[in-house]
Each structure stands twice: as structure tokens, then as C-alpha cells.
Amino acid sequence: MRGLKTIAGLAVAGCALALSWTAQAAEPVRIGAFLAVTGPASFLGEPEKKTLEMYVDRLNKQGGVQGRKIELTVYDDGGAPDKAATFAKRLIQSDNVDIIIGGTTTGTSMAAIKIVEPAGVPFISLAGGIDIIEPVKKWVFKTPHTDRMAAEKVFADLQKRGLTKVALISENAGFGKSGHDQSLKVAGNYGIEIVADEVYSPKDPDVTAQLTKIKNTPGVQAIFNFGFGQGPAIVTKNTKQLGITQPLYQSHGVASKDYIRLSGDAADGVRLPAAGLVIADQLAATDPQKPVVSAFKKEYEEAFKSEVSTFAGHAYDGLQMALAAIMRAGSSDKAKVRDEIEKTSGYVGTGGIVSMSPTDHMGLNLSAFHMVEIAKGDWKMVD
């Protein structure tokens, strides 16, 4: 009798255990990321990683997505495309991720596309290069503005000021090179003539030689620099040192306070295209982006005690769009999630308002960019 009781007890316990097991065994949503956390683009990759980790952690504390925990796997590709390709394989094959966010640079994203496309895994890139989404690839999306849009925004501003002869100086690495090529491509559309074209290496301690050449080129009305990291700050300082008076434009690659801090006074008067996040407090109260970017800025800066950058915003947007798509799809089925990402419409993010379509896997337009000018060590919205 006693034995029977024990058996019954065990059976009940077993059932309870099995129940709790199934409840717990709701498979987690697996998100994979490969980012340039070290290397020349760590400037971008580091805040991206921090953002993903912070928000995944926070969501898990709130119970995850549809009762499922989120499992985030981040690998550091150091900005090297061949490593990115290996990590993409690892995420898909070994970690069985449902979706991949990442690819800090265009080079690493392009290498990963070769892996995700045949494997059929949704992939949201955080890099700027237009080649990522043009031509449209079935499984590939991206959150940041393209380098072509940055060039267009700058040229439109120059056109407004009646400046047509521009000297281009760019970094001879991925970001700068791609921006340089896109600038040459669209300059004509805005009646801009590129009269000088110089490059520098990402770690050059001094670029006065290149800038002297630009200074001596007759007719230069403005200088446009495409690069990120320390290079643009050195260009800015050297421009001031040489007493060059023509206006200096930078790309969206330097839209972080670090750039102002490194360049000091020399940054005064520099203009650049930037997303709403950078000038959150200056946005009009009616701007639909205002609440989103203000909240993100506050949360990020409270958590990490450092200035938020647009790159952190790219990762935030990528994660939000991915999670929204998973919720709409009602599962993490890769094909369904892909379809839902493509249907993203009117998502208000840190980079702008995103409306994707089968022919547009980025869904941003030029209105997402603001032209800002640096004045007294801070951003000032121009338009």
C-alpha cells in the first residue's frame, strides 16, 4: 500500500516535472550577431554590441518575446570579412540562430551575404554600403542610411549655399572608399564638380600634405571628408592649422561626440548629415521620432555613462524590427519572419521612419537625415 502511494506520488511528481519541463522548454528565440567589436571599426561595433546585449537582457527580464526567452550570441569579427563569413556559418550551423543582426562594416556584411542567402536566414545588416541592398537580396535588410544618401544630403546642402566646386578627401579603407565612390557617382545630379580627390590611411598621424594640395587647387569652394575613427578629426585639425577657410563637410561616420572631443575648436563650423538620434533634444516637439530617440538616448546613457552614437541606434533599430517581425509572424520561422521584416511599415526608429517593400530592404529616405553644424562643441540643427 505504502509502495503504491510512493509510486503514485512519483507519478504526480513526474507529471509536474514534465509539465514544467515543457513550459520551460519553449525554445528560446535565437539571435546571432557578428560585429567589429575590435579592430579599426570598433568605434562602431562596440556600441552596437552593448546595445544588443542591454536590450536583450532587459527583454528577458520582462519575460522575453511571446513567453520565449531571447538567446543572443555575439562574435567579434574584428572587421575582417573572411572571419565574418566563418562566424556567419557558425551562427547558422552551430548556434542554430533564427535571425542574424550585424555586419558592422560593408565588407563583413557582403561576405556574410554569401552565406545567409543560400542558407535562408533573415539578416539585418548594420553597415552603410548601398551594395548590401542594391540589388535587393531576398534575405538581406539593413538599418542605417546608405553612404549615397549621406553624399546626397551634403551635396544638396552645398547646392543650397551655391557652392559647386568641391574637394574630396577620403580614407582609403572600406567606409571611406565606398563613400568616395558614391560621392563621385551622385555629384553630377546636384551640379557639383569634384575638383580634387585625395586619400589618407586610417592611422596617418598627419594629412597636411594632402590638404596643402587641396588648398593649392584653384577654385575649391568646399571640402568633403569621408571616413570614421580618428582620421576625420586629424583632417579637421589640419584644415584649421593650414588656415583653410572654405567650409568643411564630414560624413555621417563621425556623428558622435568623440569626433568633437578629439577635434576641439577646429570642429567649429563643420557640417555633417546625422540621424535624429544625435540631436534628440533639438528635434521639434511634433517630430514623430522625438519620443523614440529621446528614450533610447536616455536609456543608453544611463546604462553606459557614455554618449550615445548613431551606431548604437542602428543596432537598436535592427533588434526592434527583428522582434516586431517575430511577434507579427507568431513564431521564429525563418521564412515567415523574413516576410514580416519586408512588411515593416511606419516603424519609427532612431535612424528615421522605416517602411520597407519587396523592392526596398532599407526603407529610409533622405528626410531621415538632418544637416547639423558644430558650434561651441555641440550639434546645431541646420535643417
One character per residue 77-106, x = contact with another protein (rule: CB under 8 A): --xxxx--xxx-xx-xxx-----------x
- What is the distance between the alpha carbons of residues 275 and 367, in angstroms, rounded to a whole number? 10
Least distance between another protein and beta carbon 119 (Å): 9
107 binds another protein (CB under 8 A): yes
User: In Å, how far from its chain's centre is CA 81?
Assistant: 17
Q: How far is CA 191 from the centre of its chain?
A: 29
Q: What single letter denotes the amino acid at residue 207? A: V
**Smallest distance from the beta carbon of 49 to another protein, in angstroms?**
9
Phi, psi torsion values for 350, nearest 5 degrees: -75, -25
- Nearer to another protein among residue 80 and residue 195 (C-beta): 80
Residue 339 lies near another protein (rule: CB under 8 A): no
Nearer to another protein, 73 or 164 (CB): 73
Among 20, 241, 345, 357, binds another protein (CB under 8 A): 241
- 303, 294, 253, 53: which is closest to 146 by C-alpha? 253
Nearest CA among 273, 276, 200, 275 for reference residue 238? 200
Spatial distance between the Cα atoms of 110 and 115, rounded to a whole number of angstroms: 9
Report how far Cα 310 is from the mean position of its chain's Cα atoms.
7
238 vs 350 by CB, closer to another protein: 238
* Residue 135: count of CB within 10 angstroms of its CB: 7
> Among residues 57 and 281, whose Cβ is nearest to another protein?
57
91 or 156: CB nearest another protein: 91
Instruction: Report the nearest approach of another protein to the CB of residue 136 (Å).
Output: 18
- For the bound state, the minimum distance from the C-beta of residue 286 to another protein, rounded and expressed in Å, comes to 35
CA dihedral 234, 173, 100, 275 (to 10 degrees): 40
Q: Which of residues 122-181 bind another protein (CB under 8 A)?
A: 129, 131, 172-174, 177-178, 181
DSSP 380: E
In the complex, least distance from residue 48 CB atom to another protein, rounded to whole angstroms: 12
Please check whether residue 92 is in contact with residue 115, taking contact to mean a CB–CB distance below 8 angstroms: yes
- Binding residues for another protein, rule: CB under 8 A, are 37-40, 42-43, 46, 74-76, 79-82, 85-87, 89-90, 92-94, 106-107, 110-111, 114, 129, 131, 172-174, 177-178, 181, 198-201, 203-210, 212-213, 216, 229-230, 233-234, 240-243, 258, 261-262, 264-266, 306
